[in-house]
Structure 1
């Protein structure tokens, strides 16, 4: 891909450094804003010829890292970006495991600009994915997987919407690993062999990041959109959200039954995925301060290979100093 890929690694690393000062301070919005600011400035400072395909809240009309935003003063846009400046702002604000910064890049117009909705997702190895018919009920899919591999383990968000399927998995003898936030980080843990698969309903925009991760690391993903009223049937905003979803689906010419694979979400075989850990996962350790340095644990997936990287940055007054030092 015709771009400086290490710039995007630096972007997620500086994002977690910028957000680090607010870890445990119970201000998830400001923590997220710190990461947004630093990524936005880094991409602008480097005149990155890219546009945001998936970014900050579409419904919130985010002022930076929004869908369609570009960074280059020139018109020769060559890549798409999917970005979650901080996935897991809630655990980060509480100083709990489960938060990363992540970016995926791909050739221009190869990332599906998915509406800001919920999405049912299944992320697993290619071997297990080869036997899956995602149009079947999840209970049937689990039985199919168990016929191929015994002693299965699953990562799943510990949410009310998942309690029934969690109990079903446990009855089937599947080892369940619960996470509170962050199914992109959960998918990374699947790649790192911490579980056989990830399943559950999470954010649709994060699905594009997971699709890029699947292609980059030779994994498999299935997904379909989930209606807001299936997750929040009794909320005051449910009716309005459903109307917004219907318009978005009509515009995209898709529906709740449309099954996506990773290559429907991202059509570029050379897509790259980058993540840096803020408060850590199973393998990725949290950002640490050791010997007056930030020690950042990162993950890169590209061309069926993944790398775990430990980077060390000098501690300065704030992340802006690092941005100026490492912008070019």
Structure 2
């Protein structure tokens, strides 16, 4: 009995490889709470349901964490705001937490693909603090591209170099880009270079992870997206060993002023090792709607089914876990019309 208890304690230690199986309960709880709002046109209530579920699940885990990348001012979700302490312990080793209870809130509201609940965990002080910067320009690619592509190169040169690295003609490269007005020129440059573009309205966490993985469907990610998603992505790609870099790229005038007043550098590209200063990272994401990485939540009268991607920098393992559970266990959840 004593050995069993010790084994269970080890599994719930963030420094142990099995802790990721406890951590997945957090993203699965958020996904199950949010899925009731798929296609209902109310992204705020869907996000709020996921935030509440994620906060509750985090506080049940026996660890001590501080939210470094959270919801906060931009999302008006103080339950998971930056600086919040989470976890069931107040002492012991400290960890940074990056969370996005619903990555792709518009996808959720419109019933579209790639909505997910996601979080990452790293030793305290390891995650880059972007301050008031909401947006970041990003570049992601497979591991072979690490250190081989300069961020200030023209798009065509980046793609030619990536083509040489991957041994794949430029005409067969596919670049994930968010479908935003700010990316019109980027898309034109990619097409002019001869490569393909995969446009998605949101979901650049999924796009970057696929780009950094040995997956032939996406060869790179380029363009500007959310900074929180950028730090979370950096954690996942640090664990995967892929290529990633980012540059703070404020979009709104109020954000530009706040970033300037905070003394943050918007010209320099930050390498992966500066965005996440430890390889001892854990990443979990659970699909809410089906997308590039996994299936979304499926429910019947009696069962719910989730898929969760778990990546561990501790072991280098990447696992896709499908879980089926009795739906009766969720009977106390608030109905969408309540």
Q: Determine if contact 1:187/1:210 at 8 Å carries over to the other structure.
A: yes
5+ residue gaps, structure 2, are: 1-13, 334-338
Could you tell me which residue of structure 2 aligns to residue 185 of structure 1?
A: 206
* Number of matched pairs: 309
CA deviation after TM superposition for structure 1 residue 47, in Å:
4.6
CA deviation after TM superposition for structure 1 residue 290, in Å:
4.4
The 3-state SS of whatever aligns with 1:142 is helix
Normalising by structure 2, what TM-score? 0.85
Distance across 2 between alignment mates of 1:65 and 1:39: 9
Q: Write out aligned runs for 1:32-47 (5 A).
A: 32-47=47-62
The 3-state SS of whatever aligns with 1:297 is strand
Could you tell me which residue of structure 2 aligns to residue 76 of structure 1?
A: 92
The 3-state SS of whatever aligns with 1:298 is strand
Give the one of 43, 57, 66 matched to 2:72.
57
CA deviation after TM superposition for structure 1 residue 213, in Å:
0.8
Give the one of 235, 245, 257 matched to 1:243.
257
Could you tell me which residue of structure 2 aligns to residue 302 of structure 1?
A: 312
Distance across 2 between alignment mates of 1:111 and 1:319: 37
Q: Determine if contact 2:175/2:198 at 8 Å carries over to the other structure.
A: yes
CA deviation after TM superposition for structure 1 residue 147, in Å:
3.7
Q: Write out aligned runs for 1:270-281 (5 A).
A: 270-281=280-291
Could you tell me which residue of structure 2 aligns to residue 257 of structure 1?
A: 267
Distance across 2 between alignment mates of 1:60 and 1:11: 19
The 3-state SS of whatever aligns with 1:312 is strand
Give the one of 223, 229, 246 matched to 1:223.
246
Report the aligned-residue RMSD. 2.1
Could you tell me which residue of structure 2 aligns to residue 167 of structure 1?
A: 188
Could you tell me which residue of structure 2 aligns to residue 325 of structure 1?
A: none
CA deviation after TM superposition for structure 1 residue 220, in Å:
1.1
* Residues 188 and 294 (structure 1), Cα distance of their counterparts in 2 relative to 1, 3 Å cut: farther
Q: Determine if contact 2:156/2:193 at 8 Å carries over to the other structure.
A: no
Answering whether residue 228 of structure 2 is matched by residue 211 of structure 1, we say no
Answering whether residue 141 of structure 2 is matched by residue 124 of structure 1, we say yes
Distance across 2 between alignment mates of 1:17 and 1:179: 24
Distance across 2 between alignment mates of 1:54 and 1:147: 36
Could you tell me which residue of structure 2 aligns to residue 9 of structure 1?
A: 24
Distance across 2 between alignment mates of 1:265 and 1:219: 13
Answering whether residue 80 of structure 2 is matched by residue 87 of structure 1, we say no
Distance across 2 between alignment mates of 1:23 and 1:291: 17
Q: Determine if contact 1:120/1:224 at 8 Å carries over to the other structure.
A: yes
5+ residue gaps, structure 1, are: 233-237, 322-328
Could you tell me which residue of structure 2 aligns to residue 235 of structure 1?
A: none
CA deviation after TM superposition for structure 1 residue 314, in Å:
1.3
* Residues 35 and 192 (structure 1), Cα distance of their counterparts in 2 relative to 1, 3 Å cut: farther
